Amino acid sequence: MNKLQAVSIAAATLTVLTIGVNLATGSRAFTRYPSEEVAAVNEQDQLGSLFEDETGEVSDGEGVLNTFALGWLPSGPGRDSLSVAAVFGLSVAAVVGVFAYERFTRHGTTKQGKQAPV
């Protein structure tokens, strides 16, 4: 197995595992992390008044989800830039880089390692 095959297999495996994490964490569009601000809003129940019906009773809402989700797309800079698209992009860059390295380091030689005729 040459370097290109090994990197291609590793890149494909990493991408498939990242998609698995995305599906396991709810298959959200954007990456998100638990937030102290969202937890505070959920505890205060300030959103309850938005869900009052005509009688003034508040429907039983779950609040805003405040869990980790690895998204298909990044939601911002820093740690929020981790996403399936980012991992896939890095995997493609690694494969292209190894391909280019393999292609251009053998420039000027034949497969047997001898100097190519001019």
| Token couple for 23 | 């599906």
Sequence-ordered list of residues with C-beta below 8 angstroms from that of 21, at least 6 positions apart, any chain: 70
Q: Highest mean pLDDT: which of 40-44, 59-63, 88-92, 110-114?
A: 88-92
Q: What phi, psi does 73 have (nearest 5°)? A: -125, 155
Q: Report yes or no on 20 lying in a domain.
A: yes
Q: Report yes or no on 91 lying in a domain.
A: yes
| Chain position carrying tokens 């998609």 | 19
* CA–CA dist 69, 37 (Å, integer): 17
**Interval 84-113 mean pLDDT:** 85
* CA–CA dist 82, 93 (Å, integer): 16
| Token couple for 41 | 């809003």
Q: Report yes or no on 111 lying in a domain.
A: no
Contact 90, 10 (CB under 8 A): no
Q: Report yes or no on 95 lying in a domain.
A: yes
Q: Report yes or no on 39 lying in a domain.
A: yes
Q: Report yes or no on 35 lying in a domain.
A: yes
Whether 108 shows a pLDDT value over 70: the answer reads no
Distances (CA, A) of 17 to 12, 24, 83: 9, 10, 12
Q: Report yes or no on 13 lying in a domain.
A: yes
pLDDT tens-digit profile of 14-49?
999 999 999 999 999 999 999 888 888 777 765 556
- The domain in which residue 25 lies consists of 3-105
> How many other CB atoms are found less than 10 A from the CB of residue 110?
10
* Number of domains making up the chain: 1
